[in-house]
Amino acid sequence: MTVVAALVAGTAFVAPAPAARAAVPLQKVGAFGPNPGALNMYVYRPAGLPPAPAVVVALHGCTQSAQIYADNSGLTEFADRYGFLLVFPETTSANNGNRCFNFFEPGDNRRGQGEAASIRQMVAQAATDYGTDPARVYVTGLSAGGAMTSVMLAAYPDVFTAGAVVAGIAYDCADSVAGAYTCMNPGVDRTPSAWANSVEDAYPGYAGPRPRVAIWHGDRDTTVVPGNADELRDQWTAVHGLGQTPDRTATLGPNGTQREQYLAADGSVAVEVDRVPSIAHGTPVDPGTGPQQCGTTGTANFIRSICSSYWITGFFGLDGSAPQPGGLPAPDGLSTTGVTDTSVTLAWNDVSAAASYAVYRDGVRIATPTGSPFTDTGLSPGSTHTYAVAARDAAGAEGARSAETSATTTGAPARCWTADNYQQVRAGRATSDGAYAYAKGSHQNLGLYNTFTTHTLKESPAGYYVIADGTCP
C-alpha cells in the first residue's frame, strides 16, 4: 500500500494505491518468414476470433514497444468488441537508438526492403496462421509508427485497405535523420501533386485502388507540428484525385475534435483529417468504460482527450458500419424537424428497397427504426449532437451513411465545477463521512476528503451530481 497523507481541518487520511492494470496478453511469433528489417512480431488474438477476420497492424512510437502500445492505445478493447486480429510489429534499439521505426531510411521505407518488407511479411504470416481476410487489412501507428504507416500505405496499396496516421508525416518527406527532424519541425511544404508523385513512385505501374486514409493530430504538437496533417491531407487527397477543400465537416465528442472528410465519387470517405484540440504529441485516449472510451494514461505520449482508436476502428469499418459494395445508397434530405430539452426529431427521404434505417448519433448507432421520422430521447438540455442515417436491406446490411446534420437541445446545459474534494463539500456539491467525499445525489465516491484530490462534478438535473472528469463541456 502507498500512503498518501493530507491534512484537512486537522484530519489525516490514507489512500490505498490504485490496483495495477494487467498487461495485455501478446503472443510473440518467433519465425514469420523473411525478416530483412530485423523486427519482432507480436499478435493479439481476441477470444472467439471469427473465421476470416480482419487484421489491423499497429505500429508503436519512438521509445515505446509493442507491449506499451497494446496496453495503452485502446486498440485491444475494440479487437475484443468487434472480433479482429491485431499485429504489433516492434523495432529494437539495435535498429534505432530510440526504438523508432526507420521511416526515413531508403533501405527500410521501400517496397520489398527492410522494415517495410518485414511488416508486410507479418501480414502474410497472419493470413497463414489465422486465415485473415486479405480484403480487410489495415494499418495505424503513432509518431514514427505513424510515419511508417504512411510508408506501408504508399509501398503496399495492394495489401492495405485503409490506414490511420497518428501524429505522423507524409510519405517520402525525408531520406535521412536530419531530414526527418526537419519534416517533424518546422515541417516541409510541397504541392499536392509533388506529394502524390512520391506515393505513385513507391509502386511504379500500380493501377489498383488506393487505401483510404485517416489523419489524427493534436493542435499543440511541437514534436511533429500540426502542419504535417495538412501535408498528409494534400498527399492523399491528390493520390485519390480530390481537392483539398473538405466535402463535409463535423465535431466529435465533448472535447471538440474537428473532423474534415473528403469524399470519393461513390460517396465514401477517401481521406479524413481529425484535429484534436489542446493536446501535444501523442495518441489521444479517453480512459473509461463508455462505448466511445478507451485506453490508459500514465505512460508518455498517451494523452487524455478523445478515444482515437474508437473512431479509427469505425473509419476502418470494423464496427460493422462500413457500407457493402453495391449496397443501398445514402438517404438524402436528413434534417431536424423538432427539438426539446431532452429530444431531437429527425426526418429523411426514403430509400427504395430499404427495410429499415440505422440512426447514428455522434458516430454511434443508437437505433434501427423502420422509417422516418425518428425521435432521439434522453438527451441532456443544451447539448449538441451530430446525426447521420444509413439505409438497411432485409438482411440488415447497411449502405452508405447520409450527410451529417447537427442539432442542439433547448434548455440550459449541465453545469460543471472542478475543485478539490474539500471545496466540493464546502460548496454543497458533495458530502463527507470524515474520511471520503461523495457526490451529492449519485453518491459516487470521490476519494479522500482533502485538498489534494480533485474532480469535475456535473449537475444534471438540479441537485444531482456525477463525476465528469475530462468529459464535461
> What amino acid positions are annotated as catalytic residues?
143
Q: How many CB atoms lie within 10 A of CB 197?
A: 16
Q: Which element (helix H / strand E) includes 213? A: strand 212-218
Long-range (24+ apart) CB contacts under 8 A made by 307-310 are 307/74, 308/74, 308/164, 308/166, 308/216, 308/274, 308/276, 308/283, 308/284, 309/73, 309/74, 309/75, 309/77, 309/78, 309/283, 309/285, 310/74, 310/78
Can you tell me whether residue 148 is helix, strand or coil? helix
> Contact at 8 Å (CB) between 420 and 390?
no
> Contact at 8 Å (CB) between 306 and 252?
yes
The C-alpha cell at 211 is 487505401
The whole-angstrom separation of Cα 130 and Cα 137 is: 13
C-alpha closest to that of 58 among 36, 92, 84: 84
Count H helices and E strands in the chain, helices first. Answer: 9, 28
C-alpha closest to that of 152 among 175, 120, 184, 197: 120
